[in-house]
């Protein structure tokens, strides 16, 4: 009888411990997911701002100015778009999609799909090129 009582007591201690630990673990996991999403959004903002500011600098210097920019690309990038003088990146978060953009002084051309396709540190070539009677800034992945 005593062995059965001890076994029941051990099982109740384990069950009580699990009742306490499981909600705590779920809470910590939820907080971790939120922090990771905000960190990735911050990386995306920093990358877009760094490329945009470099494009402004190259545009102000004119042809043949160019810069090589290193940016950290997060893992949750949905798409990247270059239209006229706006660089925008769509980031997926737990709450939904968020757009990060930078409006430059000059018009932009190029393709950054390969840069933002996979996460990691990437290099972007920001180059002023002549176009008709004005200068545009071309953005491409550097080798």
Instruction: Give 72-116 as a DSSP string.
Output: EE-S-EEEEEEETTEEEEEEEETTEEEEEEEE-SS-EEE--HHHH
Alpha-carbon distance of 103 to 80, in angstroms, equals: 14
Alpha-carbon distance of 101 to 45, in angstroms, equals: 8
Per-residue pLDDT at 1: 64
Write down the pTM of the prediction. 0.79
For the chain, 143 residues long, the average pLDDT of each consecutive 10-residue run is 78 90 90 85 93 94 91 90 92 88 92 88 93 88 84
């Amino acid at each position: 009888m005593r062995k059965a009582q001890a076994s029941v007591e051990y099982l109740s201690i384990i069950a009580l411990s699990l009742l306490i630990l499981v909600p705590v673990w779920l809470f910590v996991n939820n907080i971790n997911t939120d922090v990771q999403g905000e960190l990735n959004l911050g990386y995306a903002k920093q990358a877009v701002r760094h490329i945009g500011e470099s494009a402004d600098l190259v545009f102000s210097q004119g042809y043949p100015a160019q810069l090589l920019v290193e940016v950290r690309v997060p893992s949750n990038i949905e798409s990247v778009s270059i239209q006229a003088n706006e660089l925008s990146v769509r980031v997926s978060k737990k709450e939904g999609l968020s757009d990060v953009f930078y409006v430059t002084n000059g018009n932009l051309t190029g393709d950054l799909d390969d840069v933002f396709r996979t996460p990691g540190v990437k290099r972007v070539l920001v180059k002023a090129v002549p176009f008709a009677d004005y200068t545009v800034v071309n953005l491409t992945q550097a080798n």
